Structure 1
């Protein structure tokens, strides 16, 4: 028996490679499937099955491309309907993998088709369960994502039954391998680990400790934030299918000269995406470019902020063109038409106009605050982060809402806008969006809230209580 978790940090996503006697099962693969193929080749094994725990909303699965390359069937749980051929398994159905057995456990609640996969060892004893978005470490899947006409309360009721009548009945030593780790928007507050055991989760997971269904429903539905806007798009793509990755890569890996880019930027609808590190972007960028640096939760913010129906041109660090494109395809972007040849440096060498964002340290903010009556503090963190502590008088517009003109109604062109997030990544994205919308009196606070809260002379508060 060999099990490997293949974890992708920027999406908080875990896929799994399971092998026995040269036969392999892949669970919840990402769209770029090379890692699974390479691992199987290195171990001289062949991929026999592709299991999907549900229709993922936060990334595009690699099920179609991996199935085409390997001939392995795509297996979903009961009730699944797709626009392409799949094996719809029965609850309790078993699949032989070498000396091991993989048993389907239909566990609706996160979505209606959600299923877990119980791995039994050579003696038939339960060894591990791959729980998808049904059970996380310290959390459970949110029950408000795209399951027909059912309410989140009705889905939460189904989830309660799935957890207590199926998963919680497994032996305590059974390993729990979920589809996501900390930072994922598929739950409310996932724990820091990416695997656990049934016993540990029964003892510590707030949802499994809820003994009655009514209390459970309230616990898992209270405090749910709005899901990222790309979630329904990704869920639909995973259900209906997509263009082969090779074709998307061929289209997107086209070099575009400075002269050609200037022509493109003169047309409506072109999106210029700069994936260089945020601290590099602020020092100089092509006007109208949107900054989403590869160093952060790149794919998630791209899916949340960029249009899926408009052509995208990339500006990257040298050698990062392919990585930028692949990470965009993971959340469903298929309309990248190329990258700027030579990157931003080529643009500057050609003598073209450029823009920048002024960076300021927290101590500079402390000096400016008492003397600038036009200063507006813009905090782009999530509401929960803002409520946990913020500068007195700051305006909270979460980054996910920055494309909504109504959200920016509190800002006018006369304001000197000082923008920050927690550490500096999201604030640069926000600054680039504000620049595109005509706001140019901007300052980016380096280090964000992490630096601000340590700086004397900046009044901060938490839920109305002044802290200093």
Structure 2
């Protein structure tokens, strides 16, 4: 028996590849199937099952393409209603895989169809669970995502999750390994650990939601407290996972379509496509195609695309670093952004060399910021998360998280100058590109963000500032 966790940092997502005696199973695969097919061919095994823990909201799974390419059936937990051929398992149903068995534990709460898969080894011992979004390391799945689909409140779903955890998972032996679907950085929970593997015993001892004497009412209160609104694309990804989608190869082929400068310009004018520039923020600041939005491929690219662009049907034109076209298309497809018109052949340099109009961001260093800022008079906008801001921030700065930019942008006075920063420059450049695309040019973005500011003499505090800008 072999278990491999295939972890994708950009999405903080874990897929699992399991083999035993010539047979394989894959749990929660990502959309591109080649990595799994390569493993199957390398190991000389037959893919027998594709297990899905639930209808994912934060990424588009590869279950359909993988099933078509291998003939392996797709397995869901009880109550799932996909709009394609799949096996809907019953609670406690056993699936044989080589010399081991995989048992379905119905664990509703995050979603109604959520299932945890219990691996029983060659000796008949409970070895590991693949808990999906039911149990994370240090956290549990948020119970607010399935409200519309179930006509239930988040409190009612949290109550179901409480009983699923206590009746199906906490009854397992302490040495049973826990393999979750996500880790820190995912929007599917609020308190996830950076660790991606644990045990039942460790989680009983450290996970706030698994406290031994916790009442259902306490659980509901603590699990639902502090939940941020889910990214807008989540519902669209659920629909794609439930209803079906275009094959990854078709999406890749379209995204890899090269466009000359003239063709790119015409496509932008004729389609109203969003121009997405995925270069590093340091390069984008020096020059870019007017109206471009910068979300760098070197950061949490796919989640930020989903959170800020929101509509997966939005037509997109791509500017990438040379050689990163396929990686960019792949990452976009993982979160359902399939309407890709193509990418600029030769990247931004081709545009620049053609003598086309370019734009720049007014980026200043932390040292320049120190010289220019007047605490109490200058407006400073901090686009980091609330938790980062609360820990320490520039004195008198306003907290305006990037994730909420579509809400707070309307409060910006177009003629009042301000400074803007994040932690290191990645998020503030995203915000800067959005602001500039919408006509705001009255700001200075700070290179290196708060990390660089903290090395200067600019006053800092953990005192929360006024709420209005």
TM-score interval (norm. to shorter) = over 0.9
Point out where structure 2 has 5 or more consecutive residues left out of the alignment.
none
SS of the equivalent of 1:131 reads: strand
Tell me whether 1:212 sits opposite 2:215 in the alignment. Answer: yes
Residue number in structure 2 paired with 1:149: 151
CA RMSD of the aligned region, Å? 1.6
Q: Does the 8 A contact of 1:286 with 1:353 survive in 2?
A: yes
- Deviation at residue 399 of structure 1 after TM alignment: 1.2
- Deviation at residue 382 of structure 1 after TM alignment: 2.2
Runs of 4+ in 1 over 6 A off after TM superposition: none
Residue number in structure 2 paired with 1:97: 97
Tell me whether 1:429 sits opposite 2:425 in the alignment. Answer: no
Residue number in structure 2 paired with 1:47: 47
Structure 1 distance, partners of 2:196, 2:462, is: 34
Q: Does the 8 A contact of 2:73 with 2:86 survive in 1?
A: yes
SS of the equivalent of 2:239 reads: helix
SS of the equivalent of 1:10 reads: coil
Residue number in structure 2 paired with 1:200: 202
Q: Does the 8 A contact of 2:57 with 2:237 survive in 1?
A: yes
- Deviation at residue 262 of structure 1 after TM alignment: 1.7
Structure 2 distance, partners of 1:254, 1:464, is: 48
Tell me whether 1:441 sits opposite 2:442 in the alignment. Answer: yes
Tell me whether 1:190 sits opposite 2:230 in the alignment. Answer: no
The CA deviation string for residues 201-228 of structure 1, in whole angstroms up to 9 with x for no partner, is: 0111110015211111111011111111
Q: Does the 8 A contact of 1:315 with 1:344 survive in 2?
A: yes
The CA deviation string for residues 313-368 of structure 1, in whole angstroms up to 9 with x for no partner, is: 10001111111001000000110010000000000110111111132222221110
CA 1:139–1:371: 2 relative to 1, 3 Å: closer
Aligned residue pair count? 462
SS of the equivalent of 1:285 reads: coil
Residue number in structure 2 paired with 1:226: 229
- Deviation at residue 276 of structure 1 after TM alignment: 0.8
Residue number in structure 2 paired with 1:124: 124
Structure 2 distance, partners of 1:254, 1:372, is: 51
Tell me whether 1:254 sits opposite 2:279 in the alignment. Answer: no
Q: Does the 8 A contact of 1:388 with 1:463 survive in 2?
A: no
SS of the equivalent of 2:210 reads: coil
- Deviation at residue 464 of structure 1 after TM alignment: 5.7
- Deviation at residue 268 of structure 1 after TM alignment: 5.4
- Deviation at residue 394 of structure 1 after TM alignment: 2.1
The CA deviation string for residues 241-286 of structure 1, in whole angstroms up to 9 with x for no partner, is: 1011111112221101101122222235211000111111111111
Larger CA deviation: 110-119 vs 140-149: 140-149
Structure 1 distance, partners of 2:79, 2:370, is: 58
Tell me whether 1:389 sits opposite 2:392 in the alignment. Answer: yes
- Deviation at residue 17 of structure 1 after TM alignment: 0.2
Structure 1 distance, partners of 2:339, 2:326, is: 14
TM-score, scaled to structure 2:
0.96
Residue number in structure 2 paired with 1:362: 366
Residue number in structure 2 paired with 1:324: 328
Structure 1 distance, partners of 2:166, 2:460, is: 48
Structure 2 distance, partners of 1:401, 1:214, is: 30
Structure 2 distance, partners of 1:392, 1:458, is: 6
- Deviation at residue 445 of structure 1 after TM alignment: 1.1
TM-score, scaled to structure 1:
0.96
SS of the equivalent of 2:192 reads: coil
Tell me whether 1:15 sits opposite 2:15 in the alignment. Answer: yes
Structure 2 distance, partners of 1:309, 1:63, is: 21
Tell me whether 1:417 sits opposite 2:418 in the alignment. Answer: yes
Q: Does the 8 A contact of 1:366 with 1:458 survive in 2?
A: no
Larger CA deviation: 445-454 vs 160-169: 445-454
